[in-house]
Amino acid sequence: MTADLAGLKETAEFLANRDNFYILTHQSPDGDTMGSGFGLCYALRKAGKKANVLCSDDFPKRYSFMYEGYEPQKFTPETIVAVDVADRKLLGTRLNGYADYVDLCIDHHVSNERYAKSLLLYPDASATCEVLFQVLTEMGADLDKRIAECLYTGIATDTGCFKYANTTKLAHIIAAELMEQGVDIERINREMFDIKSKARLKVEQYINSAMEYYLDDKCAMAAVTLDTIRKAGLAQEEFEGIAGMSVQLEGVQVGVIIKEKDEGKFKVSMRSASDIDVSAICAKFGGGGHVKAAGCTLEGSLSDVKLRLLSGIAPEMGIDLWLA
C-alpha cells in the first residue's frame, strides 16, 4: 500500500471530523512515541472525543508522568492513528493486527514504510512531537500543562535535549511555546537525561575501565564478553546507547564497542566524532549504518576481531600499519 501524503490542514480536519481513536505507539516505546501518543490522546479527549493509547509493551515507568491518572476508555474503535511508527513491524506483536487498518500515521522518519492510508510525514522535523504540535495548533487545540509536557518530552528526548544536529529552529520555538503552559523542564530533563540506575552505572563503569586506546589515541575500543557480563553481573538491558561512550574522550575520532552476543560472535557498534565515515568502515565487514553511527557483526576470537577492526579503521585515519 502506498500512503496518501497528507498536509497539516487535511490532518487537522481529519482528526476534527473523526471519533473513537485508537492511537498506536511503537514497541520499546521512547519519549517521542509516548509523548505524541498521550499528547494527541489528551488533546482529542479535551475536544470531547474518545481516545486511547495502545502499545505492544507496557508503558515504561520513566514516562509515568505522562500517564498518571490515565484510564483507557471503553468504545469501539473507528479511527486508527499511529504516531512515530515508521514501519508496521514496529507495532509489535500486540498491535500487529491493526497494521492494515491504520487510517493516519504521523511521523518524522524519512524511512517511513508508508503502510498507513494517510501519512503526515515531516522528515526534517526533529521529532514526531514537533509535527504533532503543528497539527494541534492547526486544530486550535486547547493545550494544557500535561499535553505540553508530553510534547516537550518527545522533542527533548529525540534531540538529546536540543544537543544533536537534528535539532531544528522550530524545535526551539515550540519548546518556548510549550513552556508557556508551565512545563517542569527541570524535573523532566533530570529524569530523561541525568538519572541512572545502579545497574546502568555499573555498566558505564565497566565500559570506562575496559576502554583501550589505539592508533595514536584516535581510536577508542571497549569489549564486553559473555564471560565478563556473567562474572561482573552486568545487566544486559542497560547497554542501550552505550556506544556514545566510546567517543567521549577528547581526540578520539572513531569509537568502537564490541559486545559478544553468542559464543565467538561479536556485535560491533562504531561511532565517529570526526569526518571519518564509519558506515564505510563497517561495510568492509558486511555491516552498515550512518556516517556517524554504524555497526557490523564479526566472528572469531576477540583479539582477532579487534585486529581486523583496527586494520579497517587505520587507513581511514591515514595511518599505515606497515610503517612504525
Q: Which residues bind its own copies (CB under 8 A)?
A: 161-165, 167, 169-170, 172-173, 175-177, 179-180, 185-186, 189-190, 193-198, 201, 204-205, 208-209, 244, 247-250, 273
At 262, list the grid cell. Answer: 553468542
- In the complex, the smallest distance separating the C-beta of residue 298 from its own copies, rounded to whole angstroms, is 27
- In the complex, the smallest distance separating the C-beta of residue 234 from its own copies, rounded to whole angstroms, is 14
- In the complex, the smallest distance separating the C-beta of residue 200 from its own copies, rounded to whole angstroms, is 9
Edge-to-edge strand ranges of the sheet holding 212-214: 212-214, 219-224, 254-262, 265-272, 293-299, 288-289
- In the complex, the smallest distance separating the C-beta of residue 196 from its own copies, rounded to whole angstroms, is 5
Pick 101 or 193: Cβ nearer its own copies: 193
**Distance (Å, whole) CA 87 – CA 110:** 11
**Distance (Å, whole) CA 127 – CA 199:** 29
- Whether the CB-CB separation of 253 and 272 falls below 8 Å is answered with yes
Looking at the DSSP bridge assignments, the partners of residue 255 are 220, 271
- In the complex, the smallest distance separating the C-beta of residue 155 from its own copies, rounded to whole angstroms, is 10
- In the complex, the smallest distance separating the C-beta of residue 308 from its own copies, rounded to whole angstroms, is 26
Query: How do 104-107 and 212-214 pair as beta strands?
Result: unpaired
At 203, list the grid cell. Answer: 555498566
Distance from the first to the final alpha carbon of the chain: 58
**Distance (Å, whole) CA 50 – CA 71:** 11
| DSSP labels, 86-120 | -SGGGGHHHHGGGGGG--EEEE--TT----SSEEE
At 210, list the grid cell. Answer: 575496559
Pick 58 or 186: Cβ nearer its own copies: 186
Pick 237 or 262: Cβ nearer its own copies: 237
Q: Would you give the DSSP letter of residue 24?
A: E
Pick 207 or 223: Cβ nearer its own copies: 207
- In the complex, the smallest distance separating the C-beta of residue 230 from its own copies, rounded to whole angstroms, is 21
Look at the block and give the residue holding cell 557490523: 296
- Whether the CB-CB separation of 186 and 193 falls below 8 Å is answered with no
- In the complex, the smallest distance separating the C-beta of residue 255 from its own copies, rounded to whole angstroms, is 11
Pick from 182, 185, 181, 188: which is nearest to 143 by CA?
181
